[in-house]
Amino acid sequence: MKGVEAILTAFEQALDPQHLEQSPVKAELVGYGEISAIFAIDAIDGWVFKRMPLFTSREQAEAYLANYYEYCELLTEAGLNLPGHDCFIIPNGRLFVLYIGQERFAAEALCHRRIHAQGTEETLEMLDRIIQALNGIQAFNRRRMPEREIAIDGQLSNWAWQESEGAHRLAYFDTSTPLFKRSGVEAMDPELVLKSAPGPLRAAIRMFFLDDVMNRYYRPREVYIDLVANLYKEQCPGLIPAFLERINRHLPENEAIT
């Protein structure tokens, strides 16, 4: 991506999150989370960039980036389709800001929006493909543990469902947090995430963070629960029985979601 690093450097140097409209590098805030914001930059058409201002050294940013690239490789090995991606480390004073770029999906392709625009038959086909992808994660882990174990946040809002040559293509794009373990040890340093929390709260968050936020993504039943919970959020409770019927085929009887 020729010239992108220079554009991101100019964007970072001029960035005032409270007055984004005043930036000489025109951009739109398209999403945000606890530790990052996602921008679409006018001069880089067809891409979005997740900005992660977490790193106090280039080495720290490079270590995170190495984990990110390995996570993408592992997800691909497990059979998932990912968008094109590229990453850049941009210095900013004492910080090193990581920009994770991805090819941008049309808003109407995102799965949590597709359920409002398509019929039940196509929605259930889409669900079956998501379940197939999640089964691929479990099969990968059975083959590769304990050397490698990957996790995934399987919510509807993390998938895209695209028309492609008369068929549909499912893609997963929530890859910026490298959720995987090497020999049973989490690859990502959770302290990076805790940096964004107020100091007095960090001890309490640290106590619960690994189990409540990270480890749940290694447990298939909880991944499926999050997937079904999206239907409440999207005000589509009528789809829940059909979702549960399909999901429970892939869970042990004593772990069925009811």
Q: What is the pLDDT of residues 186-228, one digit of tens each?
A: 999 877 777 666 666 677 667 766 567 788 999 999 999 999 9
pLDDT of residue 219: 95
- pLDDT tens by residue, 3-37: 999 999 999 999 998 899 999 999 999 998 767 89
Q: Which of 84, 103, 122 is the last residue of a domain?
A: 103
Q: Both 72 and 164 in a single domain?
A: no
Q: Both 86 and 132 in a single domain?
A: no
Q: Both 201 and 82 in a single domain?
A: no
pLDDT of residue 62: 97
Q: Dig out the tokens for 130 from the structure.
A: 């998501």
pLDDT of residue 232: 94
Q: Both 24 and 73 in a single domain?
A: yes
Say yes or no to pLDDT of 112 above 70.
yes
* Phi then psi dihedrals of residue 154, to 5 deg: -90, 20
pLDDT of residue 206: 72
Q: Both 127 and 215 in a single domain?
A: yes
pLDDT of residue 210: 59
Q: Which of 49, 73, 103 is the last residue of a domain?
A: 103
Say yes or no to pLDDT of 181 above 90.
yes
Q: Both 91 and 116 in a single domain?
A: no
Q: Both 170 and 241 in a single domain?
A: yes
pLDDT of residue 196: 61
Q: Which residue has the tokens 């993504």?
A: 217
Report the amino acid identity of residue 205: I
Say yes or no to pLDDT of 163 above 90.
no
Q: Both 163 and 128 in a single domain?
A: yes
Q: Both 126 and 23 in a single domain?
A: no
Domain range enclosing 114: 107-255
Q: Dig out the tokens for 83 from the structure.
A: 């968008």
The enclosing domain of 31 has a CATH number of 3.30.200
**Any idea which of 100-104, 209-213, 217-221, 234-238 has the lowest mean pLDDT?**
209-213
Q: Both 137 and 250 in a single domain?
A: yes
Average pLDDT of the chain is: 93
pTM of the model: 0.93
Q: Both 84 and 111 in a single domain?
A: no
Say yes or no to pLDDT of 165 above 90.
no
> In the chain, how many domains are there?
2
- Alpha-carbon torsion (181, 185, 191, 197), positive or negative: positive
